[in-house]
Amino acid sequence: MSEHPMSGKGTGGVSRRRFLAGTGSLLGAAALAAHTTPAHAVTGLASTPIPSGAHVPALIVGTGYGGSVAALRLARAGFDVHMVEMGMAWDTPGSDGKIFANTTRPDYRSFWLRSRTKQPLSNFLGFPLDKDVPCHTGILDAEDFAGITVYQGRGVGGGSLVNGGMAVTPRRENFAAILPTVDVAEMYSTYYPRANAGLGVTEVDQSWWENASCYQYARVGRKHAERSGFPFVFVPNVYDWEYMKQELAGNVPKSALDGEVIYGNNAGKKNLQKTYLAQAAATGRVTVSALHKVTSVTPAAGGGYTVSIDQIDTTGVTLASKTVTADKVFFAAGSVGTSKLLTRLKATGALPALNDRIGKGWGDNGNVMCGRANHMWDPTGKLQSAMPTAGIDNWDAGGAFAEVAPLPTGIETYASFYLSITKTPHRAEFSWNPATGKVDLNWDRSWKQTSIDAAKTIFDKINAKEGTIYRTDLFGAYKIWGDHLTYHPLGGAVLGQATDNYGRLHGYSGLYAIDGSLIPGNTSVNPFVTITALAERNIERIVAEDF
């Protein structure tokens, strides 16, 4: 599945969100220990509200993978950069002494402007798991569209704050099929290695993994996969494996072993705050305004662009509206954020020369989830790590790659859980709705059947071999498939369609898309390494030719 050694003697993996049932909070991890790690800011990139009237050479909308790459490379080339982030800085501990909330105890830090949690796994044993929380600019956004909910990270670091760290490089042939105008040899010789180094990607010590109690669930997953003839393969991650070894030994506060993932990780995970953004801050040329939202970009009379920005408080209320100018603007708000903003700017006349490919080519990376009920002789373990280490590869034969995920409830569940990435042709389109003043997405829930059918090529066979059944209590009453969401939004400003071959938006000079919106809906694996590598490729050319 990957150019990284994903050896056939694989390990178990974890989905981007973890299941947490013990205290009624579901996604991430379980109440496995009382220890938690005191979090601390590591970027050195303190949030500095940009003043109205300011001028910057380069303004970046968003602080996720693509935006962080652009900021670092522009700064190292000698250009001043200002980043605008809608979410919080996540650099100040809460009353519990930690920056990020524990997944088993969601609080005001957990969800983006919701008064009730909306967890991907909504039920356990038939009981609903969501709970009321104070409405706040929390870290995980569950953004609802017709037919689908899109989970996204909110804050400095974007999706890197809330994903499971599964860092997979796709096969060359799969990448070539996705982005045929990009030089594949160049990507795999230069930009994927650069991205993996920049992200801090490493592989788990397989000899340790074989005996680690926290990966019992993954070894059960391997046994079942291999008994049915499927390759079960190790995958890299951005977690600090030495830290996890110390967690298991009881020498440090627990992080992945305390289920920290979907609401942030306080210790072992290398999010962008610890990698690209920390390096960008070290240049002294990068500043960021957290809790600021770009509302408009228009050509300025004297050249460059006028950018309108709202500063908000932690309840989402606008505190101030500002206008700044920038020579160049990079859209890096994630697939959904960039697509929505560009769609609105084109439709409302702010950027009318954007072409008719804006908003198109959006997909869900074929995400679908399911669980299986194992026999009593196949316990999956009370202690489960929240970080993925492997998956089941049936891409060639059935169009599916399945992460093996934990259900870290703190009790033995005898359950296996999976997030599948599937090959799907379905693409949706964003459009401006003048009646509501919002951007809509025309996703059709029935399209998920393609993904379900692909996933069934794995799990129907495993169930038949093992004499097991699907769980029906995780996504509602008597519902097998989690087909209501995606963790991997992609597309909306597709490379070579809405942009040129390096992300320059058609119709304007000095406007760029540099995030997951460039990728047309599917990557065959978890997408953030590809987003990072493509950003490395594109910004290198942009710096050389446009600055």
Catalytic residues: 403, 488
CA distance 513 to 535: 9
> What pairs with residue 124 in β-bridges?
127
Give the rounded distance of the alpha carbon of 223 from its chain centre: 29
Contact at 8 Å (CB) between 19 and 405? yes
> In sequence order, what DSSP letters do the residues of 450-514 get, joined into one string?
HHHHHHHHHHHHHHHHHT-EE--BSSSTTB--B-SEES--B-SS-TTTTB-TTSBBTT-SSEEE-
Which has the closest alpha carbon to 288: 280, 296, 300?
A: 280
3-state secondary structure of 305: strand
Q: CA-based angle 134:85:90, to the nearest 5? A: 55
Contact, 21 vs 30, CB < 8 A?
A: yes
Rounded Cα distance between 540 and 403, Å, is 33
Pair 532, 201: CB distance under 8 Å: no
What are the CB-based long-range contacts (under 8 Å, 24+) for 180-184? Answer: 181/495, 181/496, 181/501, 182/495, 182/501, 182/534, 182/537
The closest alpha carbon to 167, from 524, 421, 526, 488, belongs to 526
The C-alpha atoms of residue 179 and residue 501 are separated, in whole angstroms, by 10
Query: CA–CA distance from 230 to each of 190, 396, 418, 461, 504 (Å)?
Result: 31, 11, 15, 10, 42
